[in-house]
Chain A
Amino acid sequence: MDKVIIAKNISITYDKQEMIINKASFTIDSGSFVFITGASGSGKSTLLKSIFGALKPVEGSLIVGGVELKGVSKSKLNLLRRHIGIVFQDYKLIKEWTIDKNISLPLIINGYEKSVIEQQVETLLKHVRLKHQSGKYPLELSGGEQQRVAMARALSHNPIMILADEPTGNLDDYSAQLIWNLLEGANEQLNTTIVVVTHRIPQTLNVDYKHFHIEHGQIHEVN
């Protein structure tokens, strides 16, 4: 099976003094569903930031989607990011844009035609059950609804991988379940690799998943 992420002895730090991740190695198969867990401050989110290139490893090798991230150029990183969908706990929606435009962001960046964008946005709004909220701004929506918009945005361009940082951390049960269903659906139907950083793995999941746990800067696979 193809590896979408290959990490070899990577060390990640913010200040070059204390290593958050210390010489860790792991691989993630293409099309797999992966959970990364760990205590608060263990480095889960830091690792995720490294996977999308916001924080480069100070040593070792981190290859994502065939791109070596250590010393990667900005333009190459941008190209990689165009094939990744990201979901954050704090949604990271553009407040001055309507939810429709927020969803269309990766499609605009990838240069899709206007008619394709409009059609895809409409389909996704139905998918995340927000068709009735079309044209509204993020702050007019509840937290759960905003996260569904963020989820639709992450799915809009059919990415090879979706990275999610505590995607259901602040959500009500209904929205949380909807988010898990969408992630499951993308993984099963589109073979999208899903990497989720979370405190707790949901019990209601219907997919096979891999589980990595971070402790003392080391990443272990949990069986």
Chain B
Amino acid sequence: MKSIKNHLSLILALVSILFAMQTLTVTNRSIDAYKEKLKTNYSLVVVSNTKLDIKIIKKKIPLVSEVKLLKVDEAIKKIDSSMSKKNIELLKLTLPKFYKITLKKYPTPNEIETIKKKISLLGNIKQIEDFKATYDVTYKLLSLFQTIVQVFSIVVFIITSLLIVKELKIWQYKHNERMNIMGLFGAPKWLSSAVLFRLAIVDAILSSFIVYIAFSYISSSNWLSSKIKSVGIEVEVFNFTDDFPILFVAAIILSLILATTIVFGHKEEV
């Protein structure tokens, strides 16, 4: 019981930090997946009086993925099907060219402005439609969500770090006593602090596995997967090969910092 108590306080603090870290990762992953989805749906429409050189556009604006000239035939047919062939051809010649520009990634509002500026310098551009109204709301919502999660994670990290500092003082008191006694019998520093390091490493391993189990359970639950699918994206909540090593290393580093601080803060009692 005593032994469990010794471990529990550090494990709880470490689990909170790792949980916040993984939540942040999942959030970033979801936002990236959603941006990817938006990217495929998002495009700019450019209206030009003259034909544009697609190669030049791609060269001048590296963010551009594809430039497609839109066919106007269908639109003309809809206007008036009784129009003579000659008139249709004449209309085609007088109509401006419509281009659909798709991008390599979901752009920021600043990037859209830069793209528009560069396109407008290309030549005889009549109009650029960026669908800004819809786009801005979505982008701001995503940014807000990401900021909230980041702030939340930082707050969790600060509070948990404070808990760890408090825990450090308790550990310092408890381990100082043992290290002092061992020192009386000539134990070298590595031996008198070995218990502490073992405890710290065991706690780090346990914490990473607790978080792994928790996230494995969460990712297998229908509740979350249905929520993710409802927004039309697919997100891996926990990837063992990618996420576990990061969490494990973070837990080990944090607990080793704690143990090292105690060992180097130790002074022999006189």
Residues of A bordering B, CB below 8 Å? 14, 49, 52, 54-55, 75, 77-82, 84, 86, 92-96, 105-106, 108-109
Q: A75-B188, A78-B187, A96-B2 are in contact. Are A109 and B270 (CB under 8 A)?
A: no
Contact A109 B187 (CB under 8 A): yes
Report Cα–Cα, A79/B188, bound state, in Å.
Answer: 9
- List 19 interface pairs A-B (beta carbons < 8 Å), by A numbering: A14-B270, A49-B270, A54-B268, A54-B269, A54-B270, A78-B183, A79-B186, A82-B185, A82-B186, A86-B184, A92-B181, A94-B177, A94-B178, A94-B181, A94-B182, A106-B186, A108-B191, A109-B186, A109-B191
A220 CB to nearest B CB, Å: 25
A14, closest chain B residue (CB)? B270
- By Cβ-Cβ distance, the 5 closest A-B pairs, closest first, are A81-B186, A82-B186, A78-B186, A106-B185, A109-B187
List the B side residues contacting A86 at CB < 8 Å: 184-185
Report Cα–Cα, A94/B2, bound state, in Å.
Answer: 14
Known: A78-B188, A94-B177, A109-B191. 9 other contacts (CB 8 A): A52-B184, A54-B269, A75-B188, A78-B183, A92-B181, A92-B184, A94-B182, A105-B185, A109-B185
Report Cα–Cα, A17/B2, bound state, in Å.
Answer: 44
Q: A96-B2, A109-B191 are in contact. Are A81 and B185 (CB under 8 A)?
A: yes
List the B side residues contacting A14 at CB < 8 Å: 270
List the B side residues contacting A82 at CB < 8 Å: 185-186
A27 CB to nearest B CB, Å: 23
Q: A49-B270, A54-B270, A109-B191 are in contact. Are A93 and B185 (CB under 8 A)?
A: no
Report Cα–Cα, A94/B192, bound state, in Å.
Answer: 12
A-contacting residues, B216-270, CB 8 Å = 268-270
List the A side residues contacting B268 at CB < 8 Å: 54
A142 CB to nearest B CB, Å: 20
Report Cα–Cα, A75/B187, bound state, in Å.
Answer: 9
List the A side residues contacting B188 at CB < 8 Å: 75, 78
A111, closest chain B residue (CB)? B191
Report Cα–Cα, A29/B217, bound state, in Å.
Answer: 71
List the B side residues contacting A109 at CB < 8 Å: 182, 185-187, 191
A159, closest chain B residue (CB)? B185
A75, closest chain B residue (CB)? B188
A80, closest chain B residue (CB)? B186
Contact B270 A55 (CB under 8 A): yes
Report Cα–Cα, A81/B182, bound state, in Å.
Answer: 10
